[in-house]
Amino acid sequence: MREQMPMGARITRITEESPSIRTFTFDLAIPFTPGQFVMVWVPGVDEVPMALSAENAITVQRVGEATAALFNLAVGDQIGIRGPFGNGFAVTGRTLAVGGGVGVAPLYPLAAAGSVEIFLLGARTAADLLFADRLGEACTLVTATDDGSAGHHGFVTHLLERVDPVDFDHICVCGPEGMMRAVLSILDREGCAERGQFALHRYMKCGIGICGSCCIDPDGLRVCRDGPVFTGDRLLASELGRYTRDASGRRKPL
């Protein structure tokens, strides 16, 4: 697909996954590697990066102006798509996935393809456990909820006490940055940070590595071009889990 101009995509189905998360299916199939993202143009509002949850779908949490506008669209409405961009997950052998909240979206295609052995899934409540039924059919699923309404009562990182990350060739992670930083710390403690693959989300303007708005400290890595998936050893000294930046480039504490 074109990097510069969005392709028109018509919404064919809207699925309410949780009170704040919806999947938008459209009439455009995009060959991609799980973990890659697209720039989604909401006409008259903004263009924002979103991970693909399928070759013809994005799964979105309502968090700002663009996503609120997207939630106001209906079947038959049109959006624009550029991409896919960046690199995705690269796995062989035994793979463990750790996902939280809407961060499960880029991990789901990996599991659906049969590439994940065990999936640790976390959310605030049972109603927020994204794709739980389908994940349970694709791999061994272990869940955790903050309020204890399903699975382990606590954080998804607690589930890493039940498995040994050293037993896996790859540990693929996406979710809230505090969670990802906690997972990275565990992998570093176990001496296997380089086996981790972390999908980051940052503010982006171009999506193709030109504007620099998604660069992360301290090395200036571009999330859109060098990521969005990074191995854990490249993130140990980074801003991951500490802060992001807004549209003006100012730091936003997490």
pLDDT given for residue 2 in this prediction = 56
CB 53 within 8 A of CB 59: yes
Neighbour order of strands in the sheet with 170-174: 152-153, 140-145, 118-123, 95-100, 170-174, 196-199, 229-231
Q: How confident is the model at residue 19 (pLDDT cuts 50, 70, 90)?
A: confident
CATH class of 95-253: alpha beta
Q: How confident is the model at residue 1 (pLDDT cuts 50, 70, 90)?
A: low
Q: With a cut of 60, say whether residue 88 has pLDDT above it.
A: yes
Binding residues: 206, 211, 214, 224
- Residue 103 CA to residue 108 CA, distance in Å, equals 9
pLDDT digits (tens, 9 = 90+) for 181-234: 999 999 999 999 999 999 999 999 899 999 999 999 999 999 999 999 999 999
pLDDT given for residue 254 in this prediction = 86
CATH class of 7-85: mainly beta
Query: Residue 20 has which token pair?
Result: 């704040």
Whole-number mean pLDDT of the chain?
A: 95
CB 115 within 8 A of CB 95: yes
Q: How confident is the model at residue 122 (pLDDT cuts 50, 70, 90)?
A: very high
Tell me which H or E stretch contains 66: helix 65-71
Binding residues for [2Fe-2S] cluster: 206, 211, 214, 224
pLDDT given for residue 3 in this prediction = 64
Q: How confident is the model at residue 246 (pLDDT cuts 50, 70, 90)?
A: confident
Q: How confident is the model at residue 101 (pLDDT cuts 50, 70, 90)?
A: very high
What are the boundaries of each domain within the chain?
7-85, 95-253
pLDDT digits (tens, 9 = 90+) for 140-157: 999 999 999 999 999 999
CB 142 within 8 A of CB 120: yes
Q: How confident is the model at residue 64 (pLDDT cuts 50, 70, 90)?
A: confident
Which residue bears the tokens 């999947």?
23
pLDDT given for residue 5 in this prediction = 80
